Structure 1
């Protein structure tokens, strides 16, 4: 089983946690601003579906790598509730801090999406939704697989202590797998892999079509990824918190 650690409510007032939350907010905001902005720019430029997909996928690959590099040593730069869940399942972040990260990620995504709506003069904010001919179960399975791929990459290149020099490449590889997954699934499910990335645009546009898929799919993929990777690929010591530390 995973090594889930509850944590304590006192974490919210600890300086290192506050610093991590600020960095997580900034990195998530900039990621969503560039990611959603690239989709809006593709629409404004009249790009064909294939060219638009190439533009959006490449932008996401670049900005994910940049933001993970910027925030990794402070907050871990999750940028994504599914990543946070996957790491929580393996005991790499407490449940308490995970919920704080979720709140920050959703706030950052919302503010980035509202900012884009303002600076573009009220352009429609594109949401993640299923393509014509893709039913909800197909879209759900697609999101589970794509998110599992992301978590698998993060665990095996950034989390695994045995990887050594590969960890320095893990940041770039994380960005690349996001871009590759968008190329693979973008024209089918939208390839969100990230509930926060889907939440902000849906909130601003007021369009919640298929939105549940972009929570359920990534969270299942993230949870499964964390559970499988931590039990079959990662071998490190885990020291449980004392009863005093676990008390609220």
Structure 2
């Protein structure tokens, strides 16, 4: 691995990465974007369950979840893109850090903001639906933790690879709104592929909020390990193969 790959990874200064007004706005943007995304995604599942008397685990329920998450993520990324980069996902933030596109300090506070946004979204859903369950992610029948782990790794790899190709790569050109659309589409497609097996989280924050509110931590580590490994691999591979030595640090307004 090229030496300059590691040189791009930085811890950052607390005054610049945490206390700066621009950083505080970025944390707020990540909190709000994640809240919007999780509220729409979790809420769609709860609404489908209510309307169908508990038949969320049906083909129609899977399609509804894929559409809700694709639309919700498209909006969440779009509204946060110009402020924080619109990560909305600790796996994306981790991938950005591994590739040298965000400092460790800012990345940690991004993840804290994302987790808080998810928890608040689930608390709001719990209250506004009159106490309906915000179900945590769970492995499907006859799906082992290792099956689930690989599923989450592969799906998150596709997600973070798409983020790099459409939003991070300095050679991407002026593709504008295509980035959030592509990111939303890959999440929707992955839910169709993996929803019946793992719930298709691809996002530790999305799994964390429901787990806190329902206090169900069964196999929760899968929904952290899989996305972080997949996101990190995607970042390393894209950086080495397609950005390499021509890498130019992105402005803070983009990532």
Same fold (TM over 0.5): yes
| Whole-Å separation in 2 of the counterparts to 1:174 and 1:237 | 22
Structure-2 change in CA distance of 1:162 and 1:237 (3 Å): closer
Name the SS of the counterpart of 1:92 in structure 2: coil
Pairing 1:51–2:57 present: no
What is the Cα deviation at residue 85 of structure 1?
0.2
1:135-171 CA-partner distances (Å, limit 9, x unpaired) = 0000000000000000010101111122213353111
3-state SS of paired residue (2:243): coil
- In the other structure, the counterpart of 1:169 is 178
Alignment of 1:9-158 (within 5 A): 9-10=14-15, 11-46=17-52, 47=55, 49-158=58-167
Contact 2:170 2:248 in 1 (8 A): no
Matches of 1:108 and 1:67, distance apart in 2: 12
How high is the TM-score relative to the length of structure 1?
0.93
State the shift of 1:234 in Å.
1.9
The normalised TM-score by structure 2 is 0.91
- Output the CA distance in 1 between the equivalents of 2:169 and 2:37: 25
For structure 2, the 5+ residue unaligned runs are 250-255
Deviation at 1:119?
0.4
Once residues 104 and 130 of structure 2 are traced to their aligned partners in structure 1, the CA distance between those partners, rounded to angstroms, is 39
Alignment partner for residue 178 of structure 1, among 157, 164, 187? 187
Q: Equivalent of 1:201, from 206, 210, 213?
A: 210
**Structure 1: gaps of 5 or more residues:** 240-248
Structure 1 residue 238 displacement after superposition? 4.8
User: Which residue of 2 is the match for residue 7 of structure 1?
Assistant: 12
What residue in structure 1 maps to residue 253 of structure 2?
none
Deviation string, structure 1 residues 78-124 (Cα, Å, up to 9, x no partner): 11100000011111110000000111111111111011000001011
Q: Deviations over 1:175-210 (max 9, x none)?
A: 000000000000001100000000000100011111
* Deviating 4+ runs (over 6 angstroms): none
Q: Does 1:229 align with 2:238?
A: yes
- State the Cα distance separating 1:5 from its structure 2 match: 1.4
1:242 counterpart residue number: none
Given that 2:170 and 2:247 are in contact with CA atoms closer than 8 Å, whether structure 1 keeps it comes out as no
Could you say which residue in structure 2 is the equivalent of 1:189?
Answer: 198
Give the paired residue count.
Answer: 239
RMSD: 1.3
